[in-house]
Structures are given as structure tokens and as C-alpha cells.
Structure 1
Amino acid sequence: MTAIAVRHLWKEYGDQIVLEDISLDFAPRAFIALVGPSGCGKTTFLRILLSEESATRGEVLIGGKPIAREPGADRGVVFQRYSVFPHLTVLGNVVLAAEMAEAPVTGRLFGTRRRAAEEEARGLIEEVGLKGAEDKYPAALSGGMQQRLALAQAIMRKPKILLLDEPFGALDPGIRADIHQVMLKLWHTCELTVVMVTHDLKEAFTLATRIIAFERRRNRPEEKARYGATIAKDIEVWPKRVAGTRIARQPKPTFATPGRDDPAIPSGPGRDDPAHETA
């Protein structure tokens, strides 16, 4: 069974082709990293998985069924730009995620349901390393703490699929390493299939079980409009990672593409100068 199946997907904007004949299968609880040059359609592909964009041709199946036309609770998302609500406390932000899922009409929970949601939210806040900050507002949190909060908010809705659009790109390297551990912990403990867009190959090999490289094979000015990005590489990270298992000290990840002597991934222009985290 596959968590996500993509069949001959094309995405076009008028005469411009962005994605060209993409076919992929993602296993349940896989951690997929999408890499490649800027502008090659990675975020567009992610937006299609979120139902913020629709494919021009082809189909996407979630759990064997056609993808819903609107974003739903089965798919959580965390963006690079902090997406929490500034007028709510840390606890309020996480509880709101439960309220939106369980009471979409009123957006409020009461009584025992409210207390149960708050108890679950406090546990999740502790899991992402924000214990003690429950009553703080996002403006009082650093960038790394806000992304921890965004992760907790997304996980609170219990999605089957978590979509990450360069969520750690604006953090400095030290903070990013810490939040990578948080992300791996959530992936191990929650029933999640993760699809992450990143420009950082080190991040991809640190977190992912599989790396998909998008590339425009034809890049001359007269070709850009008529030829879209395709899958240039499809790489399984080794040693193999399995959600729910722990290895105390993993060897440095490597990769291999059978039958190829040069497994290098085209990285293209990336974001090599992430902004420092600010309080």
C-alpha cells in the first residue's frame, strides 16, 4: 500500500510547463526530501499535495483515493515563514488546532473535551521542547521556538501526511540542528508520512529516508516555457531508516543509485546564507 501515489502529473500555467510527467509512490511513514534548483517546481508539487494547487493532467491518490479538492485535516503543513497565530498563547495555538479539527463550525471546545484537548496539547508542547512556555505569546519566542510551536500545531490535528516547505531554512545552523532532532522524534513517535522541500542537501540526508531531485533537463530560454521539471534522481538514503525504530549512533548517511557511477544531485542555486534566529 502507498501513502501517496502520483501518476503522470503535469502542471502548466498557461503556456508555461512547470512539472512534466511526474510519477512517484511514497510508502506509509516514509520521510521524503524534495531537492533541486530554485524554480524547478518543488513547492508547486508540495502545493498540489496540499490541494492548494490542482494538477493540469494526471492524478494524485492519498491512501488509494483521489486527493481532496480542498486542504484537509489529513494533511498538515509547516512553512518557512512562521504560521502561528500571534494573538494566541503557545497553549492556545496548539489547542486551536484541535478545535478546528473537532469543532470546525464553532471553532470552540467546552467542558471535558476542552480539558482533554488542553492536556494533550501540554504533552505535545513538552515533546517539542516548549515546556514552561505555555502562556507565552509568539512575539516572545525565538524563531526556532516558533517553528517548534508550528510543528506542535500541525501534529495536534493528527494528520496522516505532514508537508514541510523549507521550514528550517531561516534558522541558523545550531538552532537548525536542535530542531532536526525534534522533527526526527516526531516522525518516530507519530504515524506520519513526511514530504519536505529543502535546498539544504545536508538537511535532506540528515532527516530523509528517500531523496527526490527535481531538475529541468532543458533550460535554454526558448525551452523553459515548453519543458517542465522531471525527476532527475530518486535516491534511498543508507543506512536505511525506519519510523519507530531507534539507532543510538547511526553512521553518516550515504546514498547509492544502482547502475550509476556518479550519484551527485544537481543542487542549483540554494539558500546558503540563512538568516540568524532572532528572539
Structure 2
Amino acid sequence: MLKKLVLLLLVMLLSVSTFNCIYASEVQTDSSPFYEEKGQVIFDSVKLTNENGRIEIQKSTNIEQSQKLSQKLDDPDIQDILSKYMGEGKTPVAIGWTKVYLKDSKDPNNKTGVVPMTIEDVERLSGNIANPNAASGTPTVKGNFTLYTLVGYDNYDPTALYAESIGKWNGGQYGSNGPANDNDDFMTITWPNGYVLTSSTIFGDCSGPYKKDEAYSSVVWGFGEESGEIILASNGRNDSSSGTRKWVSKYVHTWAETVPSFNFSLTDVGITLTNSSASWQIASSLIY
């Protein structure tokens, strides 16, 4: 009940701030230390069309999915992602997301970076704590970051599946270089068990991208981050998968020297960081 109240208060608070659109999360996890808004939309029951640069629902066979998608289509980020994807001759199958709101933080060496807010931070912003710890203070919102996981297929070859991890920094207020610094960020995508990853690349608002590591169904890329959008695009082939499938994206942000290690499994990439006080990671996924 408290988390639902906190969510409502955050929506009311941030909807009058610098953000364009705020949506209530379909999922609020207990495992993450951060306040997260999560959800996914599946497009298998709707037909989308691009009308003068805007994605609209042309027809639908599922009213509930259509209503959820109609709400998300008011989000300019979703519009931008789907418009680019469909403009490349692809049809989206599903999209999942995890959104966090950011605040300033300092590591033990007094170097400043942005980190996701916790539920306690949200409570402080909403005035929901009667006697807040003065040492903690009330955080100032420094924009937001959303990690999307998008899956679709080629219109000319429906057996050719695409999956993208898409990271979007929004809200400004980061300074002249946005969240960028001299230390690399990392992005991963993992295909479902039974799929083989056939190719991958990364592009967008970043510098010096390089493939860090790769396994049968997962890949890790590193890059110099910049404020804006970064996309890890990949192709995969179904070798033996059937039934419900899950794609997982992860994003690691660092602002001081950090040595990451990656542990691959059939369904995920485990990430360990040597300097956890100057880094954070979030994950998004979709189940289809």
C-alpha cells in the first residue's frame, strides 16, 4: 500500500516538473535498491501505422492491450523509438522498460555523479517522512534515465528477429557534458535460452564504442556515454526455443575508475563492479 501511495505522490509531484510525461508503473520491484517504474507492451494484437510521423493504432483485436498502448503512445520517447524502428522496415513485437529518476551523489573521493533515487528519496520529495534525517537532505531531481528492451522482425523476412537495448537520458540539468565523463559505461543484451546471437553493434550518443565480451546468446559493449540516446542493436536466430521467451537488457553507469567483470549464463549476464560507490546498474526485460 505504501509503494502505491509513493508512486501516486511521485506522479503528482513530477508531472508538474520539467518532465513531459509520467506513467504509473505496471511493476514495482522489491529486489532493486532504487525506485523503478517498469512495464511492457506487446503489439501482437494491434496493427500500427505511421501517420505523418506519428505512430497510431490502426486496428486492434485486444481492447486491454490497445488501451495500454494508447497511453504509451503519448510518450514522446516511445513515439521516437517506434518511428525509427518502423522507418527501418521493421515491425515491433514488444517493448519493455525500466525508468529511474536521478539525483546527485558523491563517491568517497568527492567526485560527483548522478544516481537513481530510492523510494526513501521519493518519500522525502513528497514530504511523506514526518522527521527526515537532516543529514540525508532532500534530493534534487536531475532528470531521468530509461532503459528499453525492444524486439521485432524484418518486414521482408519475418524469421529475422531484431532485439535492441535502448538507453535514454532525459531532463537535462547534468551540466555541459550531460552524464558523460572519462569512465566508460556498459550495455548488455541477452536473448532467450535456445537463441543464438548472430550479430550486434552499438550507436547513438556515445564515443569510442567497443565490444567488451560475448557469449552464445549475450553480448557486452562499452562506450563513452553522452547525454541523449544510445542503442545496442542485435540479431538472433532461434535454434531450439519454444513457448514464452524473455529478453534482458542491462545498463551500467560509472563516473570513476571501475573494473567490471561479466559472468554469462544461459539467461542473463551477471555484472560485478570493483568501485560500486561510483557506479550503478539497472535492468529491463520483456517476456513474450
| TM-score above 0.5 | no
Q: Which has the higher helix share?
A: 1
Greater RCO structure (CA 8 Å; 6+ sep): 1
Scaled by the length of structure 2, what TM-score is found?
A: 0.24
Scaled by the length of structure 1, what TM-score is found?
A: 0.24
